[in-house]
Homo-oligomer: A and B are copies of this chain.
């Protein structure tokens, strides 16, 4: 299979750098093609702005969505953005690897999504009717592809547990996994998490890589997170609220898991 690793850590000689090298080696050894977008090494432009659209009419006011739509349609996007879109089209599996900073991804990776996820590519696609509300949440350009997060954090696993102060890790990652990956059609694999990174030692590192290797070996076999699809009867349209008879016992993000998979 073809694997794209989108990697966002500034220091190659870090825990994340070691994990990245392991991932590439493991996948290539298994016969897969691997491309790496090493955002720091590429000096990726993090900020979405008018300069991303060199052919726009500079006298008119800049509209991020409208200018993105036009540039995508007319093939006038910047080459860095178009290259990332090509890698996404090529990939069967996309891995996003990053340290958790302030309960989310580093800005450089957030800016990758903002710039690469053009209007007409990753959003703003499909018909809006009384049966469908665009191709999103289970449909879209990445339908049939898989995505997976690999995330390191200094925090303890308990702090991200069901009653931990940071909130459950599934909820902390929901805006990413559901809102940025499932939205444009990816099947989202359960994340691979490394907690308490300051307490890493040789033994734990070995165990971590072993567990990571197993996850990579099974990446095309494992069951994706069972998010509910938008256009398949679970949601009212256009309010996009979950139908009243579904998940009556639950609240919050956990509503959006199919009933049989909810905790």
List the interface of chain A (C-beta within 8 A of B): 10-11, 13-14, 40, 44, 46-50, 61-65, 99, 101-104, 106-108, 110-111, 113-114, 117, 137, 154, 156, 158-159, 161-168, 171-172, 174-176, 178-180, 230, 235, 238-242, 244, 250-256
Bound state CA distance, A168 and B256, in angstroms? 11
Of B62, B104, B163, which contacts A110 at CB under 8 A? B104
Check A165 against B230 for contact (C-beta < 8 Å).
yes
Check B47 against A108 for contact (C-beta < 8 Å).
yes
Contact A238 B156, CB 8 Å, known A40-B49, A48-B107, A61-B13: yes
Check B46 against A180 for contact (C-beta < 8 Å).
no
Check B175 against A240 for contact (C-beta < 8 Å).
no
Check A61 against B167 for contact (C-beta < 8 Å).
no
Of B40, B113, B163, B242, which contacts A163 at CB under 8 A? B242
Contact A159 B240, CB 8 Å, known A110-B104, A165-B137: yes
Instruction: Name the B residues within 8 Å of A180 (CB-CB).
Output: 102-103
Q: Distance (Å) between the CB of A256 and the closest chain B CB?
A: 7
Bound state CA distance, A50 and B41, in angstroms? 12
Bound state CA distance, A242 and B165, in angstroms? 7
Q: In the complex, what residue of chain B is closest to A165 when comparing beta carbons?
A: B240
Of B10, B48, B103, B242, which contacts A175 at CB under 8 A? B103
Of B104, B158, B165, which contacts A104 at CB under 8 A? B104
Check A253 against B64 for contact (C-beta < 8 Å).
no
